[in-house]
Amino acid sequence: MTPTNRLEQMIRRLTSQRNCLAFAAEMVVDLPGPVLEFGLGKGRTYDFMRERLPERDIYVFERDVHCRPEYVPADGYLLLGDVRDTVPAALAQIGEPAALAHFDIGTHDFTADAPLTDWLTLAVTPLIRTGGAWYRTAPWRTHAGSRCLCRRTTATATTWSIGSGPSDRNNTKGR
């Protein structure tokens, strides 16, 4: 049933995000490397990932920290600034390619967000280990050697897709 009110829409969106992140965490459980979180926001998904992957280093990219102090990453794990400035030099700080990247710097307007999200997808490519995964909440682009988990919210359903390249675009499951 399509939710018609704001509360149900938010519940569906966050449930989808939680399920995708849980699945992504399972995908990389045997893969070494840190996690990259793009968009600290209120720290919700960061807190989820550090609970799910407690042994992992999690590096967070954020230009404007506005969450409670307990959700702010420790020194050295917050890359403060616009991603267009921080991502190009990030590998030196992170030290090794990541197992998983989660992009959550967008808004509800995928069209307006597309230039930044597409730029980020390409810019993050060298930061993700071969076989690593990334999850973005916008129409996807992918690159060789990584797996992509993508949530799409349409008028009728929230779905997620998983694949290793554009040919897997139709491998979609409802959630």
Structure tokens given for 129: 């280990």
Q: What are phi and psi of 45, to 5 degrees?
A: -75, -30
Closest C-alpha to 136, from 100, 88, 173? 100
Please tell me whether residue 61 binds ligand SAM under the rule CB under 6 A: yes
Print burial letters for 7-29: b (CB count within 10 Å at least 16), e (below 16).
eeeeebbeebbeebbebbbebbe
# binding residues, ligand SAM (CB under 6 A): 16
Scan residues 115-154 and list those touching ligand SAM (CB under 6 A).
Answer: 116
Q: Which stretch binds ligand SAM (CB under 6 A): 5-13, 37-45, 50-58, 150-158?
A: 37-45
Nearest residue to ligand SAM, by Cβ distance, number only: 41
Q: Which is nearer to ligand SAM, 44 or 141 (CB)?
A: 44
Site for ligand SAM (CB under 6 A): which residue of 44, 141, 169, 175? 44
Q: Which is nearer to ligand SAM, 41 or 131 (CB)?
A: 41
Kindly write out the interface string for residues 69-108 of this chain, putting x where it contacts ligand SAM by CB under 6 A and - elsewhere: -------------xx--------------------xx---
Cβ 118 to ligand SAM, closest distance in Å?
13
Cβ 34 to ligand SAM, closest distance in Å?
17
Structure tokens given for 110: 């995928």
Burial of 137 (0-12, 13-18, 19+ CB in 10 A): buried
Closest C-alpha to 28, from 73, 58, 62, 60? 58
Q: Cα–Cα distance between 148 and 137 in angstroms, integer?
A: 11
Q: Under the rule (CB under 6 A), what is the footprint of ligand SAM?
A: 39-45, 61-64, 82-83, 104-105, 116
